[in-house]
Chains A and B, each alone.
Chain A
Amino acid sequence: SAVISQKPSRDICQRGTSLTIQCQVDSQVTMMFWYRQQPGQSLTLIATANQGSEATYESGFVIDKFPISRPNLTFSTLTVSNMSPEDSSIYLCSVGPGSGGYTFGSGTRLTVV
Chain B
Amino acid sequence: DIQMTQSPSSLSASVGDRVTITCRASQGISKYLAWYQQKPGKAPKLLIYAASALQSGVPSRFSGSGSGTDFTLTISSLQPEDVASYYCQKYNTAPLTFGGGTKVEIK
A binds B: no
Q: Which residues of A are at the interface with B, using a C-beta cutoff of 8 A? A: none
